[in-house]
Structure 1
Amino acid sequence: MHKGKGMKFVGDSRISAEQKPNIPKDYSEYPGRTEAFWPNFLLKEWLAGSVFLVGFLTLTLAHPAPLEGMADPTNSGYIPLPDWYFLFLYELLKYNFASGPYILFGIIIIPGLAFGGLLLAPFLDKGPGRRPHQRPVSVGMMLLALTSVIWLTYQSASGVNWEQRAEANKPVPPSEQADIDKDSEGYKVFENNCMSCHGEDLQGGAAAPPLTGIDRSKKEIKDIAKNGIGSMPPDQFSGSDKELDKLAEFIVSVNEDQ
């Protein structure tokens, strides 16, 4: 056999004969849709974050949050409220379908379905498009969640007078605190009928004004305890006439000592 004659070369079909270099795809075919991460995209992110931060700081300087006094676990008249970012859940629990016998719906089922739906949104809408109209399921669920949170937060915040609440719950300096005899009979009557709203030291709370620093007669105090005044409904006092006299004398004596 002569060299080179009768010899055949068989190639393996599993191996591509065409050599392709490991080069990333050229994105120039998508003009205007791509850009370099550094520095173009990252610079835009920094600029957007800076604008938001400056706006947020300006808002806090123009409308500072009214701060209350330090937490006092002995103040039975204090009505706590959640932080602003939980107000939408707080407002949700005011509705009949999420409170009372249906409280589990308000604290577990409804929030669980809402947050679970947002987690599942990318799996429910697998469209290749990135425009909002091409992702109807994801966009619709996000708009529904965002609208619900904003509306519930607004409804909850609009029902609270934050300045009045902060003023009612600010700390009282020791020099301005009333000298209260907590062993007196009048204080015991106050404890059974009024403490839950007006506080242990008559300092008031979010639901009721303070009973110190007032200029009312014994007769006026008895009339208010029986018939109410302002936001205070009538028939809040459940004791006897003798106990009502002791309560009125006690409140008058506390204000006379100031």
Structure 2
Amino acid sequence: MKYARPAKYLSISVLALGLVVGCAGQPKQEAAEAVQPAGPSAAVTQALDSARAAIKDAKALDWIWRDTGKFLKQAEAAAKAGDEAKAIKLANKARDQARLAVNQYYLEQAKTLLGKLRNMSGLSAEQKQALEAGTAAVLAAEGKRAYDILSKLEAELAAASIQYTVVKGDSLWAISGKPDIYNNPYQWPLIYKANSDKIKDADLIYPGQNFSIDRNPSAAEVDAAINHAKTRGAWSLGVVEESDRAYLGGLRVR
């Protein structure tokens, strides 16, 4: 019996040791299972989001370069593979291309507007300043800024058309000569052409008629009107002169 006790105590010690070892190893296993692969950094996420937003803007205008989407896909793949430097570089390239495409789109629109607005006459001091600012933006290749300035000016000029009601004693010559109209009687053909559906004979208008008058005709339109007024020749009431027909561009007058 004296020799059996050490064996019994040894078994108890081994069992206790096993429990201690088991308890000590379990937290390590749980810690290992808790480790998860890290996702893209904030810098990568921001670069990708910025590129996607720029591409969305370009697609909305249907004005995007062929390779831009490819660069974004490559950036996304690099981010997934953990190559953050490459992901950011490609995402920024996609973003810059998309932004450049958008700027190009608005620059082309601005150039078209500028070509039209340059020929406008009768601009106020503020409108002339806006035209100069828009011109400077085009020359600096600031597409969106140029477009915003010039499209606003175009809308303002388009709304500058006024209505005039004929009164007794009026003539197209007299109306055109009014300071608040053209301040030049020789521009009367502008009124005639703009209201050719209401005026059968340029020499005969009636009280109560309402005419639309463009306050900002182009320089070419003004020149053509003045030239016609000075070279029209003899006139007669109730007869549509052939020179008037020619000025209207062959428009049939009833």
TM-score by length of 2: 0.32
What TM-score results when the alignment is normalised by the length of structure 1? 0.32
Higher helix content, 1 or 2: 2
Q: Which has the higher contact order (CA 8 A, sep 6+)?
A: 1
Which entry has the higher C-alpha Rg, 1 or 2? 2
